[in-house]
Structure 1
Amino acid sequence: MKRYLATSAVLALASGSAMASGLDRTGQPIGIIFEEGTYAEFSIATTSADVSGNDRTALNPFGSATGDVGDRFNMFSAGYKRDINDQLSFAVIFDQPWGVDIAYPVGNSLLLGGTTAEANSNAITALLRYKFNDRFSIHGGLRYQEIDGEINLAGGAYAAIPGGTYNVRVNKDGAFGWVAGIAYEIPDIALRAALTYSSEITHNFDTNENLSPGVTTSAETKTPQSVNFDFQTGIATDTLLFANVRWAEHSVTDLIPTTLGRDLIDLDDSVTYTIGVGRKFNENWSGSLAFIYEDVDGDDRVSPLAPTQGMEAIRLGVQYQQDKMKISAGIRYTKLGDAVASPGGVPVANFRDNDAVSFGLKVGYSF
């Protein structure tokens, strides 16, 4: 079994810290619960996105370049897993599952220049896993997450707003959700099929809008429910085939501040497919290669605050293991899908041929 599983630790590396549908950044993995014995890990990652377009539309027939609107963002995650007895184990996972970093440079786009959006999140997931036998197990637990952010709307596309600009500060709010799943394994061939459901989480934010100076308003937002299916199996000595399918209901995520009275987020549901192979080269070195494709419901009209639709990506990971320590590194190239920024359904800017590059580093230690 270990000859297969030596490759498995590199599989999830660099799967996060990349642009995907909605605000999704990590895919909410729970794979640490399947590690053997007592295990801890932490990882850091960074993504540099090149997202630019042109606002040549009926509103601006001569057109102007938007400039690069995709800001670099960094992420941190960590986890700890321990067996309670032969059947029961627990894990605690910290990640930053949702986020956005968009800024239209002032002086570029006539229709969107000065528009910005920033959202940050932190989440802690506490999981229990119960093994009925060597084949079947169930897992589940609670997730607590906090989110805050700020949005500025500016440019000709928002000229109808009083004063021509709008700002809202979304103050930090924490809320709970839950996770539940089931897994089937054949240890001798490193086969594992795991199905995990994550509930939607409802946040009730206090907001500060510049249209109501000094007044605290409110807005309700949900982060999407999702289903992850993870599969792996040994296909030859020291070689592992792996796959993941993730469905997320991003369409439930909206933000309608009280005074403005309109939705600032326009997102579509998505299904993300990952397939790849991991290979152990020798006692110390392993590697993996994966292809990722995201299919998004709906047309190519999107919010200017998330001006891409779908993606394709290639992910390469490598791992060095010495005694109880594992060090993994990964790189991911993402081709972002074309989209039309359309506030209120009105097309104002076309985004084409954009991409992102992500780097990740993970350190794991078995006790």
Structure 2
Amino acid sequence: MKNTVILITLCSISAKEVYAGGMDLSRQPIAPLFEQGTYLELSAYSVDPEVSGKLTDSIQSGNVAKKGYFFGGAYKQDVSNSTSMAIIVDQPFGADIRYPSHSTYPLSGTRASVDTIAISGIVRYKINSPFSVYGGLRNVTSSGDVTVNQRSNNLLYTMKTDTQNDWGYLLGAAYEIPDIALRTSLTYHSAIKVNFDSQENIVSSSFTKETSFDVDMPKSLNFDFQTGITQSTLLMFSARWVEWNKTKITPQLFTQFVNQANNLVGYRNNSLTYSLGLGQKLTNNLTGLLSIAHEKPSGNLVSNLSPTDGYTSLTAGLKYQATQKITITTGVSYTWIGEAKANLASNEVTFEDNHSVNFGVKLSHHI
């Protein structure tokens, strides 16, 4: 039964929640911390989304979501019989929205992007079998920029932040019974307050100002569970809660002159995402995964710069044991992106019938 533990690694590339609540991307993984011995992994994945909105039948936004590529990596090592450490690199949060500039849509030419990279250093201590605790520090590098083109009143606004490095922490506990491939863990990631310095421009009136504003990268709680149900089959379940309702992006000139008293981006609800999967050993060298993930839509109006609301995704993955120490894992998922409604110049815009095709690959090596 111990061999079924390797199936869980399929989940780390299988269902990237690119359209989860807020700007969630990676789920802030910790799975490498539980690998045996000295371990190294590199992963990459792509998303190819279609997200479009409709003001009227004749006035449509076109696809506003850009194809994206993301990466991650991890290194894990045992320090002693009871202590191990890991360094994990991921891109926890992000966004890239671009309204096509060639359309007659009121926001054509509007775009927004948020980029983050996180490096986590984690130490795990086995109290006694089967309990362990772990904790560590996270450094998050973040930046963003936006262009808002309001064609109706000939207003063009831009904002670009500096690049900030900020610190947070994570804490967790795990329970394991290796003989039946059982492991459950609960992980808390702290919120991180980022103070951006920015340059704002109201281009149409040649007004430029250096400003600053705070953004809360949200705290989160991850629950992960796996257990063997036969000698070659593994059941997996996870749940992730993220406190998005405290994350607001409020540049000074935007809230004063472009859209008075409103946030550039703000979230009314927290998010709760579930995933359920089955892993099956197919041959001595090949294992497979099927999983489904879901996040319930909030039903509230969304920002035009974050025009999605909930999702459901279906994932299939394969893991190939190339050598005794090297494995290659691939996964593809199809995501049905939830219908969302936004307000635009006192009119309601509907974003519906949207989807994304995501692909991931990971190379792992036990040294």
Give the TM-score range, shorter chain: over 0.9
Question: What is the CA–CA distance in structure 2 between the aligned matches of 1:347 and 1:235, rounded to whole Å?
Answer: 52
Matching residue of 2:289? 288
Question: What is the CA–CA distance in structure 1 between the aligned matches of 2:207 and 2:48, rounded to whole Å?
Answer: 35
Cα 1:196/1:343, change in 2 over 3 Å = farther
Question: What is the CA–CA distance in structure 1 between the aligned matches of 2:138 and 2:344, rounded to whole Å?
Answer: 33
Greater share of residues in strand: 2
Q: CA deviation at 1:111?
A: 1.9
Q: Which amino acid aligns with 1:97?
A: P
Give ranges in structure 1 of 5+ residues lacking alignment: 57-61
Q: CA deviation at 1:138?
A: 0.4
Q: Deviations over 1:12-52 (max 9, x none)?
A: 22332732221111111111100011000000111000011
Aligned ranges for residues 32-51 of structure 1 at < 5 Å? 32-51=32-51
Matching residue of 1:55? 55
Native 8 Å contact 2:196 2:213 kept in 1: yes
Q: Deviations over 1:130-186 (max 9, x none)?
A: 0012210001101110111111111346x3xxx512111122111111100111111
Q: Deviations over 1:44-89 (max 9, x none)?
A: 1110000112112xxxxx7401111110110010000000001000
Question: What is the CA–CA distance in structure 2 between the aligned matches of 1:223 and 1:330, rounded to whole Å?
Answer: 28
Q: Does 1:11 align with 2:5?
A: no
Q: Which amino acid aligns with 2:219?
A: Q
Deviates more, 1:168-177 or 1:13-22: 13-22
Aligned ranges for residues 262-277 of structure 1 at < 5 Å? 262-267=262-267, 268-277=269-278
Matching residue of 2:311? 311
Deviates more, 1:104-113 or 1:353-362: 104-113
Native 8 Å contact 1:55 1:109 kept in 2: no
Native 8 Å contact 1:67 1:109 kept in 2: no
Question: What is the CA–CA distance in structure 2 between the aligned matches of 1:153 and 1:348, rounded to whole Å?
Answer: 18
Classify the secondary structure of the residue corresponding to 1:5: helix
Aligned ranges for residues 347-362 of structure 1 at < 5 Å? 347-362=347-362
Q: CA deviation at 1:5?
A: 1.4
Identity percentage over the alignment? 37
Native 8 Å contact 1:271 1:296 kept in 2: no
RMSD (CA atoms):
1.6
Matching residue of 2:186? 195
Q: CA deviation at 1:124?
A: 0.2
Aligned ranges for residues 1-367 of structure 1 at < 5 Å? 1-16=1-16, 18-56=18-56, 63-156=58-151, 159=153, 164-211=155-202, 213-261=207-255, 262-267=262-267, 268-297=269-298, 299-321=299-321, 322-342=323-343, 346-367=346-367
Question: What is the CA–CA distance in structure 1 between the aligned matches of 2:169 and 2:342, rounded to whole Å?
Answer: 34
TM-score after normalising by structure 2: 0.93
Classify the secondary structure of the residue corresponding to 1:26: coil
Question: What is the CA–CA distance in structure 1 between the aligned matches of 2:8 and 2:117, rounded to whole Å?
Answer: 26
Q: CA deviation at 1:107?
A: 3.3
Q: CA deviation at 1:215?
A: 3.0
Native 8 Å contact 1:55 1:111 kept in 2: no
Give ranges in structure 2 of 5+ residues lacking alignment: 256-261
Question: What is the CA–CA distance in structure 1 between the aligned matches of 2:6 and 2:53, rounded to whole Å?
Answer: 44
Deviates more, 1:84-93 or 1:101-110: 101-110
TM-score after normalising by structure 1: 0.93
Question: What is the CA–CA distance in structure 2 between the aligned matches of 1:350 and 1:185, rounded to whole Å?
Answer: 46
Native 8 Å contact 2:200 2:209 kept in 1: yes
Native 8 Å contact 1:17 1:74 kept in 2: no
